[in-house]
Structure 1
Amino acid sequence: MTAREKNRLAIRHPSAAVISPLLELPQPVSTRTRLCRAAGQLAGMAAIVLHDMGGRKESREWSQTATRAAAESGDQQLHAWLLGREAMVPLNYGAPLAAAQLAEQARHTAGSTPTPAATLAAAVAARAYALSGQTDQARAALAQADRLMERLDPGQHADTWFGHSEQKHHVHLSHALTALGDTRRAQESQAHALALSAPTSTLTRTLLTIDAAACLHQNGDTDQACRSAATAFAALPTAYRTGLTHTRALDLYRSIPAQHHRETAVQQLRQALAA
């Protein structure tokens, strides 16, 4: 079986049921290319929504469908962008080494040209390396992400699904720098990202607040860190208290030495997570 035939079979995943009948029909190459590109975009967007809502398994399935469709379409930048987004699933759910591998695939696929996909891939790689304790690799990836970001065309900064806006960039930097313990730079990125985030961006603003709380803890103010994280988490609508926000807040709680777990603020965070 050829690689193209394998990709065609892979695209016939239940998550692509809407487009599967079209893929069964004989089509000119140009038509099939456009169809696969559209399928990759749509499946990728579905994966992002599911990821943000905590649907880890479903998000991974949609991501795999999306990357296979993009690979067949021949759109290298879309393929790289989807690989970078797919890397965020293991990244955010406790498997940074697997995330780093996917992010490196994305970087290789994107190439060295400044594009949103290449910038995203470098930023995600930085987060993955930082979380896995590979400090040198993380800092190198951060530096590349910043260089690429500076060279993007104005249109590529657009806050769209496939653009890489300044707000998105600082959200990634906040997490990577927090994990590296570079609290000063992390706090700068948190301030930039919050200023650029809409008041209705509940998920993003909460994650940034939890990053800021982790920085407070690293700087020695564990009491205020726990109070801040607990307040932000408790204020979330019920549907947002699972998945990514819960994982990030739980990471903060677990980073606090056991001898402090009886303190009022630490208990407040634990109770918020258990509610």
Structure 2
Amino acid sequence: MDRRRFIGVAALATGVRGLPGITETRQGIDAALSGSDAGDLAYLDGAFERHRGGYRGRPPAVVLARMRGDLELLREVLSRPHASATRADLARTAAGITGLVAIIQHDRSDQRDSHGWFATAERAARESGDRRMLAWALARHAMVPLNYGAPKAAAELAVRARAEAGQAPSAAAALAAAVTARALASVGDRRSALRSVADARRIAERLDGGQAADTWFGYPLQKHHVHLSQAFTLMGRTREAYAEQEAALALTRSPSVMTRALLEMDAATCLHADGDPAAAADRAVSVWERLPDAYRDGLVRSRAEALRLVLPGTARTRLGEALAS
């Protein structure tokens, strides 16, 4: 068994919560970005390509564990001296890989570590000179404050992402517009949120195959509908929200566990907005009870907790008891 495969298998066997030093790994990568030149990107380019495909039915912790060996290799390669032309390519790959780690930590509800990995990804993207990569890192970073109670901070990051993305249609620009719509809806600015929804739709319609790919680096149509479901849910426009939920589910026969759960939580929130808190609690509890344990500590819990806080009386109690079980 070769070294890289051995490291990856060993990391998977220990489990993510038993992986000491993952924050130190990010810090080592971050420190190395200002140092030496470039390196051989062949293996790491392939690693980025493999990991950017998303969970593919695997829990976040398992995916993160599989990345551990590649992160160690990335830190090692970044510390070597290399030609400056290749250094830019290496920095771009570093931005992509560290950005993927940040996404996983976001989904696991480790907000502090996610912010740290995104900061590293943004620094690497700047060093690479790739503005589209920087726009992607900023747009994905905006989802951390967006999903964990800081919509104003999310909007600021999304505005920066749009500026870096430029006028050409791109996954980063579409995501930034969708995040902006959700952030504005969260603070009650419905008129501006609707303008951002229209902006996201306009960009999404113009994306080519690569930019619309179903990866963490793309902006596929299903992801677009998931974002708009949340935006319309936050605005209380339940008819549009239900339509977006149906459109998202219709695009694939087997959406990811997390995607389906988030859409179901949106639907439960819409039931409450339509005046039926008991049905909202029933829907949310049903989703929660079917959810595998591996998905109960992150984004879905955050969405369920947000619903619980607005439910009245026995509906709130019922959902609270389910979340505590």
Normalization by structure 1: what TM-score? Answer: 0.89
Q: State whether structure 2 residue 201 is matched by structure 1 residue 150.
A: no
**In the TM superposition, what are the counterparts of 1:4-43 in structure 2 within 5 Å?**
9=31, 11=33, 18-43=73-98
**In the TM superposition, what are the counterparts of 1:202-241 in structure 2 within 5 Å?**
202-241=257-296
Question: Matches of 2:257 and 2:216 in 1, distance apart?
Answer: 18
1:69 is aligned, of 124, 133, 148, to: 124
Contact residue 146 and residue 154 of structure 2 kept, 8 A = yes
Q: State whether structure 2 residue 246 is matched by structure 1 residue 191.
A: yes
| Residues 16/60 of structure 1: CA separation in 2 closer, same or farther (3 Å cut) | farther
Deviations 1:104-158 (A, max 9, x none): 1101110121111110111111111111222222112111100001111233222
**In the TM superposition, what are the counterparts of 1:143-182 in structure 2 within 5 Å?**
143-182=198-237
Question: Matches of 2:224 and 2:30 in 1, distance apart?
Answer: 34
1:201 is aligned, of 235, 252, 256, to: 256
How far does residue 228 in structure 1 lie from its aligned partner after superposition?
0.3
Q: State whether structure 2 residue 324 is matched by structure 1 residue 274.
A: yes
Contact residue 203 and residue 245 of structure 1 kept, 8 A = yes
Contact residue 32 and residue 79 of structure 2 kept, 8 A = no
After TM superposition, which residue ranges in structure 1, 4 or more long, deviate above 6 angstroms?
A: none
Corresponding residue pairs, total: 263
1:125 is aligned, of 169, 176, 180, to: 180
Structure 2 portions without partners, runs of 5+: 1-28, 35-69
2:299 is matched with which residue? 244
Q: State whether structure 2 residue 141 is matched by structure 1 residue 91.
A: no
- SS of the counterpart of 2:210? helix
- SS of the counterpart of 2:197? helix
Contact residue 119 and residue 164 of structure 1 kept, 8 A = yes
Question: Matches of 1:141 and 1:247 in 2, distance apart?
Answer: 24
Contact residue 197 and residue 205 of structure 1 kept, 8 A = no
Question: Matches of 1:237 and 1:88 in 2, distance apart?
Answer: 23
- SS of the counterpart of 1:154? coil
- Taking only aligned residues, the RMSD between alpha carbons, in angstroms, comes to 2.1
Question: Matches of 1:213 and 1:235 in 2, distance apart?
Answer: 15
| Residues 28/198 of structure 1: CA separation in 2 closer, same or farther (3 Å cut) | farther
Contact residue 96 and residue 128 of structure 1 kept, 8 A = yes
Contact residue 213 and residue 219 of structure 2 kept, 8 A = yes
Contact residue 87 and residue 103 of structure 1 kept, 8 A = yes
- SS of the counterpart of 2:199? helix
- SS of the counterpart of 1:19? helix
Identity %: 48
Question: Matches of 2:305 and 2:80 in 1, distance apart?
Answer: 49
How far does residue 10 in structure 1 lie from its aligned partner after superposition?
7.3
Normalization by structure 2: what TM-score? Answer: 0.76
Contact residue 139 and residue 175 of structure 2 kept, 8 A = yes
| Residues 268/191 of structure 1: CA separation in 2 closer, same or farther (3 Å cut) | same
| Residues 8/30 of structure 1: CA separation in 2 closer, same or farther (3 Å cut) | farther
